Chains A and B, each alone.
Chain A
Amino acid sequence: MTTNDRPGDGGRPEPAPTEKVRPPRPKRARSSAVARSVAAAASIAAPEPVAPPAPAPHVLIIGGGGTGGALAHDLALRGLRVTLVERGEVTSGSTGKHHGLLHSGARYATTDRAAAIDCITENKILRRICPGSFEENDGLFVALTDEDVEFEKQFVEACWLCAVPTKRLGREAALRMEPGLNPNLRFAYQVPDATMDAMRVPLRFMATARRNGADIRPFTEVVAVTMTGRTVSGVRVRDHAAGRDYEIGADIVVNAAGPWAARVASLAGVNVPVVASPGVLVAVRGRHVNMVVNRLHAPGDGDIVLPQRLRTVVGTSSWIADDPDELAVRAADVELIVRESAALVPAVARAEVTATWSAARPLVQAPVPAARKRVATRREAATAPAAPAPAGAGRGLARDLRCFDHATDATPTEGFVTIAGGKATTLRAMAEAAADVVCSKLGLALPCRTTDIVLLPHSAWYSA
């Protein structure tokens, strides 16, 4: 248990000096319709958490992006006490800024088979648990050049190996389906990509987590990690909305800060090999495609074009940044991305650019230990023994998503876990991997239940 706990309250987060995070809402006469709606929203059935061990351990999550939100949901379902802190609005880091592509895995099939398998697995799960959050318009991989044509065999074989379904379309069929394409295309492959609201899918995880008791606090920045020796006992936070600092005690602190993970870990004197790898994205006016359009080649710059309502988003590029807060929007990248994507969808070149921005991927720069490469089946993961397992075990994911139990570092730090890497599409799997590590550290055999439970709508996040 932690140093800040009051006796017998089982790791309850220390309440702020004034109990409420937000001021009491002014009483205001509601119209009957609005009142009915609030009542209806409150009555949406939330999945029941499992009976928690008493007293339930308290897990504090740093970072309110997709991973942190999904982890709060996973741990709340397992019956643990959860507090999540985020320095800004939720999803204001990298999560909200991605292009909004639900990957089928086809993009990674030729370069990172394991990531592709994760993507197609999670793609299917997310469609099931987030109904209504995706435009299920599918994606196309379009061959334009002789080189693209040569790449076909490799692409199809890789997709088959990863169980990513593909369907070959001739030029005419592809143009019928997506008239915005370059008419000089050779052929295309249809895959189960989809588009989503980058913010709303994570909000559904957070809304459901909160309904199950998780305490999610935006505008609350971690300024220090409190420690007893080499054991993390909680965090000191600054509440920017109220303008004051306070401490929160925890049994385990999970660093889910994405590209900021190394900075957060340094507060505990821990090194995490995560760097910020930003890419530039460009939004142009007009909905020039209805499907996700990719180039049929190895992943490169400016080879994704997808619709976001009445605009079209194109991306992206990649470099390494020193500071995830200071991401330049490189003019040369914007030019390159528009040029490359216009080869796929010519209208992009003529459209007004309405926004350019950079989003930082959390890139893990550590070799994958051989022992963690094995992909466990879901059944094995669900029945994992309670005995402490090595970090990153459970589903044995690894590759670009990694969970570090810092108790196994060269200089061990107890009570501190970092989850990093991954993609927006794999947020639930990242949460499962981190939650498995948290539970095994706590000696609890609590199965993951997030694969089948349908999440509340994103609007439930804003319910009173």
Chain B
Amino acid sequence: MSPRDARPEEPAAAVGSVEVVQSVEPETAAPAAPARPGTHFHISRRKQGDPKPHFQNFEIEVEPGATVLDALLQIRRRHDPSLVVRHSCMHAACGTCGVRINGREALACDTKLATLPTHKPIKVEPLANQRPVADLATDMVDFYARLDAAAMPLLRASETAGGATPPENIKAFARFENCIECGLCLSACPIARTNHDYIGPAALAAAARVVEEPRRHDLGPVLALAAEPDSVWRCRDAIECTAVCPSSVDPARALLTLRRHVAANGARRFLARR
């Protein structure tokens, strides 16, 4: 059990505050120690208008090498077409299928069933710290508001800055940032759990990358944002963000970098005023 799980319940509006209501279907009840290939799933269900989520159990036979997303889609096709789950690319590029698997944030398409413990059902829940849509889907609107508030638009613009391709310099046009905007870090962040104004790991990582490689951008607004109260100084170094990131962005280290820049910038401005 991670330290996150021991934290106080968040407000009822957030989907992370799942108060478990066991609603075990009779035919799949009591999956004590299932043996594969019959794999047991314990899936959070919530339709719009439901006051709180409940869990539903499924037992399915999966192909060897199947991922959690393969299993969820198989459940949707063959058992319950009403299961709402977000997905798109199937190979950890689009960042759409983030969920919590056995309490841990992960991309469903990037989590092979063979890597999960077999002695208990696989628990699948929606991401925390985001508004629920239904079942396993959450609305990414708050996540994107944070990214846009930070420097992500500058980062995206700079990826292809320069236009045409000079052959000798082809690597300069490699994608600048690796964030796939999946929201796992925001879901895993213990600060975001209790402080909804905290700008969060992905956004601060984006800001840090802009500050590290300015590419002619004006850093003033980015550093000002980072210096705000619910920004770099709010983090308590739990490093959950880096632990769950599926794309090696390392927001925790980026945040430390950003702190250095913010402090230096603050000192410079203080001295300039004197």
Q: Which residues in A have some Cβ–Cβ distance to B below 8 Å?
A: 18, 22-23, 25-26, 28-34, 36-38, 40-41, 88-89, 91-92, 95-97, 100, 131-132, 134-138, 173, 176-178, 190, 197-200, 219, 221, 238, 240-243, 281, 283, 287, 290-291, 307-311, 313, 325-326, 329, 354-357, 359, 457, 459, 462-464
A134 touches B160 (CB 8 A): yes
B87 touches A92 (CB 8 A): yes
A137 touches B170 (CB 8 A): yes
Closest chain B CB from A131 CB (angstroms): 7
Closest chain B CB from A226 CB (angstroms): 20
Among the interface residues B67, B82, B144, B152, which one has the most CB atoms of the partner chain A within 10 A? B144
Q: Provide a sorted-by-A list of 17 A–B residue pairs whose CB atoms are within 8 angstroms.
A: A25-B131, A26-B11, A28-B13, A30-B197, A37-B149, A38-B148, A40-B148, A132-B156, A173-B167, A197-B94, A198-B89, A219-B84, A238-B82, A283-B91, A309-B180, A355-B67, A459-B181
Q: Which residues in B have some Cβ–Cβ distance to A below 8 Å?
A: 11, 13, 47-49, 63, 65, 67, 77, 81-94, 96, 109-110, 131, 133-135, 137, 139-150, 152-153, 156-157, 159-160, 163-165, 167-168, 170-171, 173-175, 178, 180-181, 196-199, 225, 228, 230-231, 247-248
State in angstroms the CA–CA spacing of A190 and B164 once bound together: 13
Partner of B82, one of A41, A240, A313: A240
State in angstroms the CA–CA spacing of A223 and B141 once bound together: 29
Partner of B228, one of A23, A30, A33, A197: A33
Among the interface residues B47, B168, B228, which one has the most CB atoms of the partner chain A within 10 A? B47
Closest chain A CB from B95 CB (angstroms): 9
B134 touches A309 (CB 8 A): no
User: Which A residues lie within 8 Å of B198 (CB)?
Assistant: 31
State in angstroms the CA–CA spacing of A240 and B94 once bound together: 22
State in angstroms the CA–CA spacing of A9 and B79 once bound together: 40
Closest chain B CB from A416 CB (angstroms): 24
Closest chain A CB from B199 CB (angstroms): 6
The answer to whether A29 and B197 touch (CB under 8 A), given A135-B175, A136-B165, A219-B84, is yes
Closest chain A CB from B271 CB (angstroms): 26
A92 touches B141 (CB 8 A): no
Partner of A135, one of B140, B173, B181: B173
State in angstroms the CA–CA spacing of A356 and B225 once bound together: 41
A132 touches B91 (CB 8 A): no
Among the interface residues B65, B175, B198, which one has the most CB atoms of the partner chain A within 10 A? B175
B90 touches A355 (CB 8 A): yes
B165 touches A198 (CB 8 A): no
State in angstroms the CA–CA spacing of A134 and B160 once bound together: 8
User: Which B residues lie within 8 Å of A38 (CB)?
Assistant: 145, 148
The answer to whether A240 and B88 touch (CB under 8 A), given A31-B199, A34-B146, A137-B170, is no
Partner of B77, one of A36, A325, A329: A325
User: Which B residues lie within 8 Å of A18 (CB)?
Assistant: 49
A37 touches B93 (CB 8 A): no
User: Which A residues lie within 8 Å of B94 (CB)?
Assistant: 91, 96, 197-200
B93 touches A198 (CB 8 A): yes
User: Which A residues lie within 8 Å of B91 (CB)?
Assistant: 281, 283, 308, 311, 313, 354-355, 357
State in angstroms the CA–CA spacing of A290 and B196 once bound together: 39
User: Which B residues lie within 8 Å of A238 (CB)?
Assistant: 82
State in angstroms the CA–CA spacing of A30 and B225 once bound together: 14
B13 touches A41 (CB 8 A): no
User: Which B residues lie within 8 Å of A313 (CB)?
Assistant: 91, 93
Nearest chain A residue, comparing its CB with the CB of B87:
A92
User: Which A residues lie within 8 Å of B141 (CB)?
Assistant: 25, 462-464
A26 touches B144 (CB 8 A): no
User: Which B residues lie within 8 Å of A311 (CB)?
Assistant: 91-93
User: Which B residues lie within 8 Å of A221 (CB)?
Assistant: 81
User: Which A residues lie within 8 Å of B110 (CB)?
Assistant: 354-355
The answer to whether A241 and B84 touch (CB under 8 A), given A132-B160, A135-B174, is yes
B139 touches A22 (CB 8 A): yes
A100 touches B160 (CB 8 A): no
Partner of B96, one of A36, A89, A241, A457: A89
User: Which B residues lie within 8 Å of A31 (CB)?
Assistant: 149, 197-199, 228, 230
State in angstroms the CA–CA spacing of A440 and B30 once bound together: 60
Partner of B149, one of A36, A91, A309, A359: A36
